[in-house]
Amino acid sequence: MAKGYSKSDEAGRIGELRTLLHRANRAYYTDASPIMSDAEFDRLLVELRDLEVKHPELDDPDSPTKRVGGEPLTGFRQVRHRLAMLSIDNTYDEQGLRDWYERIRKAGESGLFGSDLDPPAIVCDPKIDGVALSVRYESGKLVHAVTRGDGAVGDDVTHAARAIRAIPLTLSSDDGKAVVPRVLEVRGEVYMPAREFERLNREREEEGEELFMNPRNATAGTLKNLDPKVAASRNLSFSAHGRGEVIMRQDGDANSFAPTFSEFLKRIRSLGIPGGAMTTVCRSLEQAILVIREFDTARHKLQFATDGMVVRVDSFGLQEELGVTSKSPRWVVAYKYPAERKTTRLLDVLHQVGKTGKITPRAVMEPVLIAGTVVQHATLHNYGRIQDAETEKPGVRTDVRIGDAVYVEKAGEIIPQVVGVVLGERPAKARRILAPDRCPECGSIVEVEPPEAADTPALETVRRCMNPECPAQMREKLVWFAGRKQMDIEGLGEKTVDLIRGSGTIPLNSFADIFRLHEHRSALLELEGMGDKKVQSLLDGIAAAKSRGLGRLLASMGIRHVGDTTGKLLGRAFPDLDALLAAPVDALMPRALKKERAAELGLPADPKDRPETGLGKDTAPVVFAYLHSPAAQKTWKDLRSLGVSLESPDYRKHGAASGAGGPFAGKTIVLTGTLENFERTQLAEILEGLGAKVSGSVSSRTSLVIAGDAAGSKLDKARELGITVWDEKQLLKALGKA
């Protein structure tokens, strides 16, 4: 990628790329006029990362590659705000707004605004429904980002803020004119765009995780995650809406940076901070009211949720004169749009089964227009909520029934949900909604889980079909199972799965059915587009997948709480399936055991010497229950008879975890090229098992490169840096296999 540059050119290229990528972020988020495609951005980022690995001496903590740095935090640091983040008074009608303005006008009449008799300019700024954040820059560098908290003290979420591309890491003037203050604290809203919210919930649905209620909820959850990779993986955005502490370099107070709020937004925008894209400066209250009314229609078309309009006095000087009450500033008020709530009739409830077996009640209603779209379906969330819905009578709650008149709202303007029942309109023949005891798709027994999060009402429960071969879940599971990172079955992609399942002649309703496909060779050949060659490569792919081993198999089955990592860890902790099935439930979480119990199970006294499985006291019983369920027993029996390996090649004996003393212990190894005897992922696991760290790119810290056939640029780089290179023969020898 960096070919064609000499050493000194490379230093120059690093600088060039950093500038270019910073500019691209700014163009996208602050100026809303992208200068490159996402793919181009990613390509340049990779080029920069590669060059930085080669030149550790040119390290810069503010490089665009450093947005996700370091390890997950263990907890939040509390930070006191230099200037309190006060809450704003709300008003829910125009009269409230008029009263507020009248108080300001009166203050002016009493001489507060000096000789200026004109009513003060006010600014309308849409209220984005997200999470408020105070972002502090010192000498133009992002130093920390803190949540509002109680207004006086908030949580330090700098790790997450750095991963948000809309928040610049360094400030720079776009025209060379704007001054960067010594301290610049900007308050703003972190929010999740609607599309991202929908994508995230789809993904969570697939993984059987609880859905986020609305984008605000999802944003808060993301910021509060201690792992910065989480924030980086979700496309959060940011928009400034206030001023915190500002200290100039030389003379002048905060107001000399910008005398008004509207000017402040312009200044920080020219320094690269997004904000103020939708603000309007108004000369009268009547004008502001028009802006508010117009925005109520426009806001439903935006890609993010808004719930009101913040109206404030523009001049910072006047704001200071007006001051604050005990709770909130006098110079600002938030006009809240009424949540659009409609009444309609609940016609039916569908019980939908997701990929992980979660059963969700979904309302079918008489169509109703809410916030600009016709709504016919809405979520009822879960069966606990159905039992505990609000009514029109304060304090009275009831269950939702089919035939009821129900209140429907769009949560965060996006997902329609049933929020209550008009009890007074309940027809005599309204039917109770029964939570299914059996899976509506396969008839298996449903398991009821207790509430997961502490902040959910006690009634809230998750119902799940526990049959891993439930047809409602099966298609998704088969596609997942065959995927490259799972069993890696060549030729069994989504399309082929659908083609075979749609044939009606070839059964494909279980994992075992995959390994029986060779019995249907002639029927496969008759499928559209399945020639001799394709069928053969599919069958070869399936045959090859039989030997992936226990860890990969477990990780591929879509077992709740057993993802990629846990599957592999279980494969390392147990030599084969029989050993795993013979283990008592607590042996699935060896690190959590008391010393006495560990001794009983023949495990080392020091928890660190016991195998890590990734499971704990909440998850181990769920996995145990699945492993021993009748459905799983059948799967094991079938897979065994079909010759699928249930052994664990990665198993390592307790205490041998560090691989101490071996030729690979403590080494940083890079694999490149094609190896004859190993798959790369498999080899990486073996080496990690022997105490090595396997890395994706060659740098001066690499201790060994293992090169197979057709090794490319990594091998070149290794030679250039003088790093030891082994071929496969040397590797086999070191592993004691040749």
Q: Which residues are catalytic?
A: 127
Nearer to Zn ion, 360 or 672 (CB): 360
Residues from 466 through 485 that contact Zn ion (CB under 5 A): 467, 470
Query: Which of residues 324, 442, 642, 721 is near Zn ion by CB under 5 A?
Result: 442
Nearer CB in complex with Zn ion: 474/577 = 474
Nearer of residues 145 and 465 to Zn ion, judged by Cβ: 465
Minimum CB distance to Zn ion smaller for 335 or for 481: 481
Question: Which CB, 190 or 470, lies closer to Zn ion?
Answer: 470
Contact, 368 vs 375, CB < 8 A? Answer: yes
Distance of closest approach, residue 190 Cβ to Zn ion, in angstroms: 39
Q: Which is nearer to Zn ion, 350 or 459 (CB)?
A: 350
Q: Given candidates 441, 460, 586, 685, which one binds Zn ion under the rule CB under 5 A?
A: 441
Residue 372 CB, nearest distance to Zn ion (Å)?
Answer: 37
Return d(Cα 232, Cα 225) in angstroms, integer.
11
Q: What residues contact residue 199 under an 8 Å CB cut-off, 6+ apart?
A: none
Number of residues lying near Zn ion (CB under 5 A): 7
Stretch that binds Zn ion, among 26-34, 461-469, 663-671, 679-687 (CB under 5 A): 461-469
Tell me the closest approach of the beta carbon of residue 355 to Zn ion, in angstroms: 11
Characterise 550 by phi-psi region: left (phi > 0), alpha (psi -120 to 50), beta (else): alpha
Q: Which residues contact 219 (CB under 8 A, 6 or more apart)?
A: 130, 131, 190, 191, 192, 236
Of the candidate spans 44-52, 458-466, 537-545, 654-662, the one that interacts with Zn ion by CB under 5 A turns out to be 458-466
**Residues forming a β-bridge with 661:** none
Order of strands, sheet of 131-138, starting from the edge strand that comes earlier in the sequence: 141-147, 131-138, 183-191, 237-247
Residue 53 C-beta: closest distance to Zn ion, Å:
48
| Out of 157, 273, 465, 482, the residue judged to bind Zn ion by CB under 5 A | 465
User: Applying CB under 5 A, which part among 161-169, 201-209, 465-473, 525-533 lies near Zn ion?
Assistant: 465-473
Chosen residue from 142, 211, 439, 723 binding Zn ion by CB under 5 A: 439
Per CB under 5 A, which region of 162-170, 198-206, 434-442, 714-722 contacts Zn ion?
434-442
Q: How many CA atoms lie within 13 A of 228 on its CB side?
A: 18
Identity of the amino acid at 389:
A
Q: In angstroms, rounded to a whole number, what is the distance separating the alpha carbons of residues 565 and 558?
A: 12
Q: DSSP label at 654? A: T
- Measured from the CB atom, is 159 or 463 closer to Zn ion? 463
Helix (H), strand (E) at residue 468: none
Q: How far is the CB of 441 from Zn ion (least distance, A)?
A: 4
Residue 245 CB: number of other CB atoms within 10 A?
A: 15
Side-chain half-sphere CA neighbours of 652 within 13 A: 21
Question: In the complex, what is the shortest distance from the CB of residue 625 to Zn ion, in angstroms, rounded to a whole number?
Answer: 16
Region of 62-70, 150-158, 444-452, 487-495 interacting with Zn ion (CB under 5 A): 444-452
Among the listed ranges 295-303, 433-441, 538-546, 687-695, the one in contact with Zn ion (CB under 5 A) is 433-441
Closer of 466 and 690 to Zn ion (Cβ): 466
User: DSSP states of 44-85 as a string?
Assistant: HHHHHHHHHHH-GGG--TTSGGGSS-SPPPSSPPEEE-SS--
Angle at 376 between CA 375 and CA 382, to 5 degrees: 100
Q: C-alpha distances in angstroms, 280 versus 87, 265, 542? A: 22, 12, 63
Q: Phi first, then psi: give them for residue 177, nearest 5 degrees.
A: -95, -40
Closer by beta carbon to Zn ion, 287 or else 352: 352
Q: Which is nearer to Zn ion, 445 or 599 (CB)?
A: 445
Contact range with Zn ion by CB under 5 A, out of 266-274, 457-465, 549-557, 673-681:
457-465
- Sorted by sequence, the CB contacts under 8 Å of residue 733 that are 6+ apart come out as none
SS3 assignment, position 25: helix
Output the smallest distance, CB 206 to Zn ion, in A. 16
Closest separation between CB of residue 436 and Zn ion, Å?
10
> Using an 8 Å Cβ cutoff, are 705 and 699 in contact?
no
Q: What are the DSSP E strand ranges found in 412-466?
A: 415-421, 431-432, 446-449, 462-465
Query: Which element (helix H / strand E) includes 489?
Result: none
User: What six digits make up the tokens of 401?
Assistant: 């029934």
The CB-of-57 to Zn ion minimum distance in angstroms stands at: 58
- Expressed in percent and rounded to 5, the helix, strand and coil fractions of the chain are 35, 20, 40
Angle between helices 215-223 and 194-206 (to 10 degrees): 70
Looking at 130-138, 220-228, 442-450, 703-711, which segment touches Zn ion (CB under 5 A)?
442-450
- CB of 272 or CB of 354, closer to Zn ion: 354
Q: Which is nearer to Zn ion, 52 or 441 (CB)?
A: 441
In the complex, minimum distance from the CB of residue 473 to Zn ion, in angstroms, rounded to a whole number:
7
Residue ranges of alpha helices (H) inside 300-365 are: 316-322
Which DSSP string corresponds to 247-310? E-SSS--HHHH-SBHHHHHHHHHHTT--B-TT-EEESSHHHHHHHHHHHHHHGGGSSS-EEEEE
**Of 82-90, 441-449, 550-558, 669-677, which part binds Zn ion (CB under 5 A)?**
441-449
Enumerate residues 6+ apart whose C-beta is below 8 A from 204.
Answer: 210, 211, 212
| DSSP letter assigned to residue 329 | B
Neighbours of 282 (CB within 10 A): 19
Question: Which single residue is written with the structure tokens 């609305």?
Answer: 214
- Nearest distance from residue 619's CB to Zn ion, in Å? 21
Binding mask 390-429 for Zn ion (x = CB under 5 A): ----------------------------------------
Work out how close the CB of 633 gets to Zn ion at its nearest, in angstroms, rounded to a whole number.
17
Question: Using CB under 5 A as the criterion, which residues of the chain lie in contact with Zn ion when the complex forms?
Answer: 439, 441-442, 444, 465, 467, 470
